[in-house]
Structure 1
């Protein structure tokens, strides 16, 4: 063994490395493999198993851990009190904006906060105020006030 470590220590180190990898690149998958490596380390500590048997224990523990993790995530999905958290255009619906380039022939631009967005809607002159009623991609749909 490298560094003359017992196999159970290598499994526990692998569990820590996988847990750190989950923190660095979160995907909520590596944590289950870290749990399987920790379980394998515990079994290897309690029982004198050969390396191939330890690998089999890890494979079985990984399958069980990933399956349990998927069941847990299905039963308790991530909940956000704001369902439009990552949908900026949907969050803008209902906001009042100022038309900065007149909307003619269905297209123009409106000022939202400190930015300017493409807009579509009925003819609205520059400087008028409008309400955002929806969005198509990154183009806002507006109506005159």
Structure 2
């Protein structure tokens, strides 16, 4: 059955199947193995007398190399973080370095500060209500502050 089909076409069919699997289950992994299969098909087209063992070894090496190219060269370029996103969804950490006014005095190391339209629990040195404080750290849901 396969005698009438050139072997390089089989590699390209394998490549298409692997890339189709990638479309169904995205994650980039099958795409790069499919690219390895396509290059193997090109290699077999250029060297038609290549044995089946040599083709299998070439496919394994090319799949490994193409996955390594993705992992070390392509993936870092795709994962660019925009400035400011490192604290996205961590609101407490976004408050570090900002100044707020105490609405309840800090007594025994605990008090409350007005942050935006809300209140946050704060910890720091004892200070009277109305004092301006600067956030220096976040401890769970409590802001650690110092006097300004």
Settle same-fold status: TM greater than 0.5. yes
Alignment of 1:1-145 (within 5 A): 8-18=12-22, 21-22=25-26, 30-44=27-41, 47=44, 58-72=59-73, 78=80, 80-82=82-84, 84-86=86-88, 88-145=91-148
Distance 1:14 1:83 in 2: 34
**1:28-60: CA deviations, max 9, x gaps?**
xx3244122133145347748999987765543
Contact map agreement 1:33 1:65 (CA 8 A) in 2: no
Distance 1:55 1:126 in 2: 75
Distance 1:55 1:116 in 2: 65
Q: Helix, strand or coil for the counterpart of 1:67?
A: helix
User: What TM-score results when the alignment is normalised by the length of structure 2?
Assistant: 0.58
- Select the structure of larger CA radius of gyration: 2
Distance 2:100 2:108 in 1: 19
User: Which runs of 5 or more structure 1 residues have no equivalent in the other structure?
Assistant: 1-5, 23-29
Contact map agreement 1:40 1:54 (CA 8 A) in 2: no
Distance 2:11 2:120 in 1: 59
**1:68-125: CA deviations, max 9, x gaps?**
2333269868454347444543431221223344321112232322443331111233
Contact map agreement 1:40 1:58 (CA 8 A) in 2: yes
